[in-house]
Structure formats: C-alpha cells, structure tokens
Amino acid sequence: MENGRVLAVNSMVRIEHVEIDSKDLNHGFTKFVQHLKKNSLSWPQLLTSSFNAGKTSVTVACDSEWLDALLRTLERGKDMRKQRKASRSVSLTCFGGVSSELPFKALQVLGHRGIIPDKYVLSPHSVNLFVPAESREAAVKALHSPVQQT
C-alpha cells in the first residue's frame, strides 16, 4: 500500500482550456490535431481531456507564446473555442497519489487558506490541482508544508 509521501511541489504558470464541438472524444482529438497542424503549432503538454454532450474539453500547458498563438487561432474558428478563463496548476510529485488520502489532505491544506481548486487530476506519482491564477503562489507555499513533514 502506498503511503502518500510528497517529494516535491511544482506549478505551471498558465494552462488553457479548449472546447471542441465533436461527436465523441476521438473526433474531438482528431479536430484538435488537425487544428495544430493547420496552424503549425507543436503538440502541447496535455493535462486532461473529457467528452460530454457534444463537446470535447482539452486542458493544455505550454509556454505563453504558444498558448497565445493557440488562442489567436481559435478566434478564427467556429467549432473550437477557449472554454474558460486560464488557470494554474499546482502539482505534488509523490508516492501514493492514487492509493492514499494525499489528494484529500492537499485539498484541506488549500481550503484552510481559502484556496479552492476547481479540479484535480491524479496519477500514481502526482496530484495536479487546478487553481485560480491569483492563488498559484499561495497554493505553492501552502502545499510546501506537507512536503516538510515527510
């Protein structure tokens, strides 16, 4: 059983959320890839994706220049758009991200400081929390406290 030990805290300064009109997740990704190729954009870091009610949602990270270029190309399209305001990602690199209380503890630490993530994504070695832009630095500082206890 994994023990939920935090090794490091990292953050991404900016992540963007894209919505694509599609019939399923595969169709949405096909359109996204075609859009990247058409606009000579490299593949970004993909953080999460989902499909619901005719829309594929893709959350991506890259340098600001690339993200700005992506958003400019989305303005010209009709079936692909910026889904919502940009957010930030704060990540715990860890053992036991999936098989422990670690995600819950991270949410509690942030909640005690008034920081409310709108989503978190888990892998066996990370807990990624999406926070409002203005909360990124405070979230990083807050999550360093569990790192010091391990």
**Helix boundaries (H) for 13-126:** 25-38, 64-75, 102-112
Q: What pLDDT was estimated at residue 86? A: 79
**What is the Cα–Cα distance from 28 to 54, expressed in whole angstroms?**
9
Q: Where are the domains of the chain?
A: 5-12+87-149, 16-82
> What percent of the chain stands above pLDDT 70?
92
Average pLDDT (103-126) is 90
Q: What pLDDT was estimated at residue 4? A: 66
Q: Tens digit of pLDDT for each residue in 29-85?
A: 999 999 999 999 999 999 999 999 999 999 999 999 999 999 999 988 789 999 888
Handedness of CA 36, 37, 42, 46 (dihedral sign): positive
Q: What is the pTM of this model?
A: 0.79
Average pLDDT (16-30) is 96
Q: Which of 86, 78, 76 is nearest to 12 (CA)?
A: 86
Encoding tokens for residue 62?
A: 């890259």
Selected from 3.50.50.60, 3.40.50.11740, 3.30.70.260, 1.10.10.10, the CATH number assigned to the domain covering 5-12+87-149 reads 3.30.70.260
**What is the Cα–Cα distance from 149 to 64, expressed in whole angstroms?**
34
Q: What pLDDT was estimated at residue 90? A: 93
Average pLDDT (87-97) is 83
Name, in order, each residue with C-beta under 8 angstroms of 86's C-beta and a sequence gap of 6 or more.
14, 15, 16, 17, 67, 133
SS3 20: strand
- The answer to whether domain 5-12+87-149 and domain 16-82 are alike in fold is yes
Answer yes or no: is pLDDT of 147 > 60.
no
Class of domain 16-82: alpha beta
Q: What pLDDT was estimated at residue 96? A: 64
Average pLDDT (104-116) is 92
Q: How far is CA 71 from the centre of its chain?
A: 17
Q: What pLDDT was estimated at residue 114? A: 95
